Amino acid sequence: MAVRPATVPVGQRNLASWFVAPAALLLLAFMLLPFVLAVAISFTNLRLGSPLPVEWTGLRAYQRLFQDQTFGRALLNNLLFASVVVPLQTLLALALAVLLNQPVRGITIFRTVLFMPVIFPLSLLSVVWVLLLAPGPDGTINALLTTVSLGAWQPRDFLNDAIWALPSVMLVSIWQGTGFQMIVLLAGMQSIPKQLYEAAAGDGAGAWQRFRHVTLPQLRNSLVFVMIVTSILSFRVFDQVRIMTRGGPSDASTTVIFEAVRAAFDRAQVSRGAAMTVVFFLIVLTLTMLQRWLLRLGRPGVEK
């Protein structure tokens, strides 16, 4: 039994549950139910259009998954992606936020320009970047690199190059995602009391030391948030891969979600795809727990 005193009259509580109902139903139908189904399906051998009866196969889908080299490659790519994109993008966003936090005329223009990639659909941006990264000496990026390097650069087909495909996807992701991180960090910076900087300057701290001893510690929670969100997005990366490289060449740029979609919808291996999404879910769950733990760590020891 709930120990909480019933401060809300019963009639009103019924009324309240009516207000909650639409949202709760939608969440149930479109979030919880599919997830439970996905977990259930991952323990079967379900294939779309297969004449075989559906059987309970236990962990077989997972066993096969971890023996599969393509999935291993996808996981590795995601890890690589996260370990490059998260630090680079965060550092870049932090640097931009510091620059944009200056009282300079026309600063809103810069903020708008730098935030713009965030508001366009990723699929559209990916198409634009496919054009920019076009192969041959006439491709924009190739031409630019050739000019800048005074002809030393050999034009290449970035998106069909086993070495360059994944970095190209990373580049687009960083370019697209930095704006969001930057805005979060900028908001964090602007909520730091100005007097802390004045106190630090009075205490003899120079510009770098003020950044190091005031900005960074005060920005800690924003940074944790931004890095965890970017990590989760790194494991979820799909749009860019689907449009720019289709996971190729020869799995060089494939990812977990891309493989899940391919398994479930291209090859009709629904249970396999479901198993991949469950693995993805566990990774995201771990990251979220890590964030909660890190944020709690930052609070003062005694809570009242």
Partner 1 sequence: MAQVEFRGLGKTFADGTPALQELDVTVADGELLVIVGPSGCGKSTILRLLAGFESASRGDILIDGRSVLAQPPQERDIAMVFQNYALYPHMSVRDNLAFPLRMAKRPRAVIDKQVHAVAEVLDLKELLRKKPSELSGGQSQRVAMGRALVREPKVFLLDEPLSNLDPRLRGQVRAEIAALQRRLNSTMIYVTHDQVEAMTLGHRVAVLNKGELQQIGAPQTLYDQPCNRFVAGFLGSPPMNLCEAQLYRHRGDVAVRLGDDSLAPPARLRQALQRYRGNTVLLGMRPEALTLGSGEGGNTISVTCLAEERLGHERLLHAAAPSTTVDCNGVPQSPGILSIRLPSGPAMPAGTTVSLRVDVERLYCFTPIGKAIGRLADEPPNGFETDS
Minimum distance of partner 1 from residue 110's CB (angstroms): 21
Q: How deeply is 290 buried, as exposed, middle or buried, from its count of CB atoms within 10 A (0-12, 13-18, 19+)?
A: middle
Residue 80 · residue 252 · CB < 8 Å? no
Query: Least distance (Å) from partner 1 to the CB of residue 113?
Result: 26
Question: Binding of partner 1 at residue 195 (CB under 8 A)?
Answer: yes
Count of residues engaged in binding partner 1, rule: CB under 8 A: 22
Smallest distance, partner 1 to C-beta of residue 39, A = 41
If binding is defined by CB under 8 A, does position 191 make contact with partner 1? Answer: no
Question: 92 CB contacts (<8 Å, ≥6 apart)?
Answer: 174, 178
CB 206 to partner 1: min, Å? 6
Residue 55 binds to partner 1 (criterion: CB under 8 A): no
* CA 303 centroid distance within chain: 32
Q: Which is nearer to partner 1, 13 or 212 (CB)?
A: 212
Rule CB under 8 A: say whether 203 interacts with partner 1: yes
Q: How far apart are CA 140 and CA 147, in angstroms?
A: 11
Give the shortest CB-223-to-partner 1 separation in angstroms. Answer: 13
Q: Is there binding between residue 198 and partner 1 (CB under 8 A)? A: yes
Per-position x/- string for 209-228, each x denoting binding to partner 1 as judged by CB under 8 A, each - no binding: x---xx--xx-x--------
3-state secondary structure of 213: helix
Q: Considering the complex, what minimum distance in angstroms separates the CB of residue 173 from partner 1?
A: 32
Distances from the Cα of 126 to the Cαs of 56, 83, 97, 189, 229, in angstroms?
40, 21, 25, 31, 21
* Sole residue written with tokens 């697209």: 176
CA distance 217 to 210: 10
Residue 22 binds to partner 1 (criterion: CB under 8 A):
no
User: Interface with partner 1 includes 190 (CB under 8 A)?
Assistant: no
Q: Which residues does 211 contact at the CB level (< 8 Å), separation at least 6?
A: 98
Binding site for partner 1 (CB under 8 A): 193, 195-196, 198-206, 209, 213-214, 217-218, 220, 298, 300-302
